[in-house]
Every structure is written in structure tokens, then in C-alpha cells.
Structure 1
Amino acid sequence: MNRIIIGIVFILLGGGLYLNQGHPVGLGELFGYYWPSLFVIPLGLFFHWLYFSMTAPRAAGLLIPGGILFTAGIVCQVSMLFDSWDVTWPGFIMAVAVGLLEFYWFGARNRYLLIPINILAALSLLFFAVFTLGALYNQLVVKGPIFGIVLMALGAYALIGGSRKRKA
């Protein structure tokens, strides 16, 4: 178990140094970028470990905070590394759905629990789609010439394709 923790810490430190590209890295910066991997994700894994190794199947309720913390930790880590809080925030809604789904799956399988799970998952996926498409639109249309090039290509095709159809 200690080798696994040391291995994860070395991988994170090495990845941080690699991504930093030679600039000096302070301990505060490492904590600033990797706080989800250092604190939130391990706590979620701890709840899972408690359930699967010690209390299963008696305390399935441990999986709710475990699933929420683990999923929220992954969302936070991705957001910290790529500065994408504006796109990844629906992951927090999905975190609650994941925690409830784990409770449903490993617990008593109360079918009424599927109602909030499906509502939260659908809401999260809808927000992911809307904000991701919005971010792509901003990157392609507002900040990039791709949309203009596509419109010019469509116009040229309409002119060339339209003249061929009239001649035939």
C-alpha cells in the first residue's frame, strides 16, 4: 500500500515538473495544482476501501460520499490542470449521481432511487453539452477563422454546384 502511495506521489510530481517545462516549482504551486489528487480523491477512495474491505454489504451508505468525493476530485483535478472550470462544473452534478448510483448498485436496489439518479445525470450531460458546444463555438467562430472558411467553402460549392445543375 505504501508503494502505491509513493508511486502516485512521484507520478504527480514528475508530471508537474514535466508540464512546468523547467520553471522552478514551489511547494505551494504543487499544492495549488494537485490539491484534489492529494486530499479529495484519496478521501473518496478511503470511503470505497471502508465499504469493500471492512463493512460490505452492511454499510452501503459509505459509497454515497465516496462516489461524490471521488468524482468531484477528478472534476477538480481536470479543472485545475486545464483551467476549465467554466466547462467542467456540471461534473459536480454528475458526482452526486455517481454516488447515488453506487449506493443503488451495491445497496438494496431501491428502484425509486433511479429517479434522482437519472434526473441528475441527464441534467449534468445536458449542461456539459451546452457549455462544451458553447466553448467550441467561441473557439471556432469568435477566436478562429474556421467558421468563416467553412462558410466561404459552402458558398463556393453553391456557386460551382449551382452552375453545373443549371447547365445540365
Structure 2
Amino acid sequence: MERKNNSNFVLGVILVCVGVLSVLGSFGIIPSLGSIMSTFWPMILIFISLLFHAGYYSNRKNVGLLVPGGILLALGIVFQTSELWHIYDVMWPGCILAPAVGLFELYIFGKREKGLLIPIGILTGISLIFFSFTIRNLGGFSRFILPAVLIVAGLAMLAKGRKQSNNNYDDYMHQ
């Protein structure tokens, strides 16, 4: 019974707030509720994602709640960023990344099933490839980001390979 009272209270507060904002918007005191919603509608996705996360953290048994929670959180961030800075043409690869975020949360907080890493890696890789092309279209220094990342990644792989080959040589010599 107490849970029903809590949900009625929350719903009542939301309705009162929406009503007050509508009245203030009608008098021109604040921007209209429609203009606020047209800019900040992705916050609804973020709020819903927080409810999914709260559902998981309340008892830590329903790890599956993290998948839609992570997806909605990532989509909310992508869409809100796009709305505020008008960069949908740059941020759209984040929609491909969103399921990877949800699955990664499942991997981290779940049983760490290795099979989840395959779709996570594929979706992340595809998203990063598309992000690299959209960021390059921004111009300026951003056109150097992808080449710099490739150079750093290549150098890191070379250094790791060299370290491993030195360790193998040292192991061989000290047998």
C-alpha cells in the first residue's frame, strides 16, 4: 500500500510542476513548455534510464535492467548533445554505440560472459569508424584526430610487440 502512495505522490508532484510551468509559459514568464520540451526531450530518456539503473541497484539481482538502462542513457546523451549544439550529423554514430553501452554494463555487473564482448566490440568498432568520419567533417584540428589515434595505436602495438620479444629472448637466455 505504501508503494502505491509513493507513486501517487510522485505523479502528483509531476502533474503540479507541469501545470505550473504551463501557466508560467502562458504568461511569458518562462519559455513555453513546448519550447523547453523541444530542446530537452532527451532528458526523458535519461530519466527513464536512471529508473532502470535504480531498479538494478536496489537489489542487484536484476542485472538485465542495465541493458535498457545503458541503451537509454547513451541515447539520451547523444540526443541531448545533438539538440544543444545542433550536431546530429556528427553524433549519429552514438546510436550504434548505445546497445554496446547497455551490453557492456551487463558484462561488467553480470557474470562477465565472454560472448558479450563480441557484439560489444563490433558495435563499438563500427561506431568509432563512423565517428572518425563525422568528426573529420568538422574541419580544423579535428581532421588530425583519426591519424593521430592510428599513429599512437600503432606505436603502442609496436612497443608491446618489442617488449614481448625481448622477454622471450631473456627467457631463452636464462634457461
Computed over aligned residues only, the root mean square deviation of the Cα atoms, in angstroms, reads 2.7
Q: Which residue of 1 aligns with 2:91?
A: 88
Residue in 2 that maps onto 1:108: 111
User: What is the aligned partner in structure 1 of residue 34 from structure 2?
Assistant: 28
User: TM-score, normalising length from structure 1?
Assistant: 0.64
What are the superposed Cα offsets for residues 100-140 of structure 1, whole Å, 9 maximum, x if unpaired? 00001111111011011011111111111111102327x99
Alignment of 1:11-160 (within 5 A): 25-37=31-43, 39-54=44-59, 56=60, 58-136=61-139
Could you tell me which amino acid in structure 1 is paired with residue 39 of structure 2? Y
**Once the two structures are aligned, what percentage of the paired residues are identical?**
45
Moved segments of 4+, more than 3 Å: none
* TM-score in terms of structure 2 length: 0.62
CA distance in 2, matches of 1:79, 1:136: 18
Structure 2, unaligned runs of 5 or more: 1-9, 22-29, 144-175
**Quick one: distance in 2 between partners of 1:91 and 1:116?**
15
One-letter amino acid of the structure 1 residue matched with residue 50 of structure 2: L
Q: Greater relative contact order (Cα 8 A, min sep 6): structure 1 or 2?
A: 1
The whole-number CA distance in structure 1 between the counterparts of 2:93 and 2:84 is 17
Q: What letter is aligned with 1:94?
A: L
> Aligned equivalents of 1:85 and 1:120: distance in 2?
19
Q: What is the aligned residue count?
A: 119
Query: For 1:5-38, what per-residue CA distance to the aligned partner results, in whole angstroms no more than 9, with x for missing partners?
Result: x9xx9xxx9xxxxxxxxxx72221101000111x
1:25 alignment partner, SS class: coil
